[in-house]
Each structure stands twice: as C-alpha cells, then as structure tokens.
Amino acid sequence: MKIRFGVGTGSGSDPEDLPELVDRLEAEGIDSLWFSELIYAPAVDPTVGMAFALSRTDHLKVGTSVAILPGRHPVLVAEQLASLAALAPKRVLPVFGLQPATPQERDLFPVAGRRGDVFDESLRLLRAVLREDDVDFDGDYFTVRAARVGRRPARPLDIWLGGRAPAAFRRIGRYGDGWLGSFLTPAEAAAGVAAINTEAAAAGREIEADHFGITLLLAPDGIPADLAAGIAHQRPGTDPADLVAGSWPDLHRLVDGYLDAGLSKFVVVPAAGKPLDGFLDRFVTELLPRQN
C-alpha cells in the first residue's frame, strides 16, 4: 500500500498564509493539502481553497476533510468537482460528510428529509453524473432529466466519505470509494475498516485496500487542557492520547497503530492551526521518510 501524508489547514489557519503554504508544499514535494469546511471560522472555503492551490501548483493534490454534501444539490457539486478535475487531472480528492461538526453551522445545510437518507441519495446522484452523460434520476429528494457536467473526468473521481458511526460504515461500503476517519483509536479504526469491507462485500463492491485514511490532530507541545476536556466530554472513557498526538513521537506511535489497522493515508493537522510556524519543517523531516 502507498503510505502518504498530507497537511490539513484546520480551523485556525489564516487565509493570508495560504499562498506561502501552497508554495512550500509544492516545493517540498508534499503529497496533499486538505481543507476543512468550517463556516464560522477564518478557514478558506474548501472549493475555493482547492481551486486556488491547484492554480499555482503542478503536483500538489488537494482534498476536503470533510465537505458537507446533504444540503447541496449533487449535480452542482458534480460540476464543481468535474471542473477542478479538468483543470488539474488526478489531483482532486473529495471527501464528504453527513453534517458539520459545529452545531451552530448545521442550519446552513437544510435538507427536506432524514439527513442520512438524503446523503445516500445525494451520493447515488453525484456518482451517476460524474460517470455518465444525460442522467435521468427519480428519487425521493432529487429528480433530474438529462443531467450532465461540462466535462467528465476520463477516470471517474473517487468519492471518499468521513464518519465513524455504524451508519457511516454502511454508507461507505455501499456508495464510497474510500474512508477518511477522525478521532478514532487505532483499534476503532481497525474495526471500522472491517465493517466497511463487510458492507461493501454485501453490496457486491470492493474498497481498494489503500483507500483508508484518517485525519490526525498534532499538538507538539502536549495536548492542551481545553482540547483534552472536549475529548473527555465527547468520548468519555477514551484516553485523549489515543486520539490526538501530543508530540511528534506520539504521532509516530499513532501512525504505527493505524498502519497495523489497515490505514495508509494520513492528513496531519496542527492543533494551533499554524502550519508555517515550524510545523511544516518538522513535517518534512519526520514524515516524508515514512512514505513509500
């Protein structure tokens, strides 16, 4: 399996730093840059960020970690992805999720039914339009006739999904091409890989073995008390050190555990949200030698 490490911008990233960050990533030969969908934060919108980064690079891949699909029309999303892929073939890595992590942002993505059902149908329509021309689709939430995007990628884009609940694993197995998890222990990640593969087999599908990854938060000077408290509230009984790296050695320890669990793609996000403040230099030294 190809082991790859990318950089996540996180919630505290400054848009003014993005040009320098993109140029550094390209110059250092780093695999990928990932944009989170965080509306009420200074972070750049994922689609805008991806377009910007692609426009000034030749090799850097870009992805979303994650963007929200329910609440958007899948045909419009397909057009955006196809446009990006036409401008930068093989460098667009979309990952979609069910809803924003921040409760106050959830009203910004309204749906007309049960969110999980809308997500499933959105994925079916999105995948159809990215793979076929003149799509006719009759669903519970979307109806289209002769839908198409301007220029479909020669190779259909892989659609990865986030999530860590059983319903997410079912969805990934049925409709996804890969999984980007987050805030999971290595043991939980291994169980997730197994559950996804089981669901895929039941649906007559197969997820490629190197299409499993995770977003990892790194706090190199120790896990801050407020972050530890938030983890304790969300994941009672789970040691924060099994979810967040409190140092570079801890990051390697977690990576080793995730590799054993069957994961091979890693998005590393600086907890402070400042990738240019020493983080990137250490990233190159610590992680690029681990790629194969």
CA pair distance 72, 94, nearest whole angstrom? 14
pTM of the model: 0.96
Q: What is the pLDDT of residue 6?
A: 98
Q: What is the pLDDT of residue 275?
A: 84
End-to-end CA distance of the chain: 8
Contact 216, 251 (CB under 8 A): yes
pLDDT in tens, the chain (292 residues): 999 999 999 776 789 999 999 999 999 999 999 999 999 988 899 999 999 999 999 999 999 999 999 999 999 999 999 999 999 999 999 999 999 988 999 999 999 999 999 999 999 999 999 999 999 999 999 999 999 998 898 889 999 999 999 999 999 999 999 999 999 999 999 999 999 999 999 999 999 999 999 999 999 999 999 999 998 888 899 999 999 999 999 999 999 999 999 999 999 999 987 888 889 999 999 999 999 9
Q: What is the pLDDT of residue 12?
A: 64
Report the SS3 class of residue 127. helix
In this structure, the strands spanning 143-147 and 212-218 are: unpaired
Instruction: Report the b/e string of 213-230 with b at 16+ CB within 10 A.
Output: bbbbbbbbeebeeebbee
Could you tell me which residues are beta bridge partners of residue 97? Answer: 68
Q: Who contacts 229 (Cβ-Cβ below 8 Å, separation ≥6)?
A: none
Q: What is the pLDDT of residue 273?
A: 78
CA pair distance 141, 216, nearest whole angstrom? 34
User: What is the 8-class DSSP label of residue 58?
Assistant: S
Give the amino acid at 2: K
Residue entry with tokens 């509306």: 39
In this structure, the strands spanning 32-35 and 4-8 are: parallel
CA pair distance 267, 191, nearest whole angstrom? 20
CA pair distance 222, 229, nearest whole angstrom? 13
* φ and ψ of 60, to 5 deg: -60, 130
* φ and ψ of 159, to 5 deg: -105, 110
* φ and ψ of 110, to 5 deg: -70, 145
Q: What is the pLDDT of residue 276?
A: 81
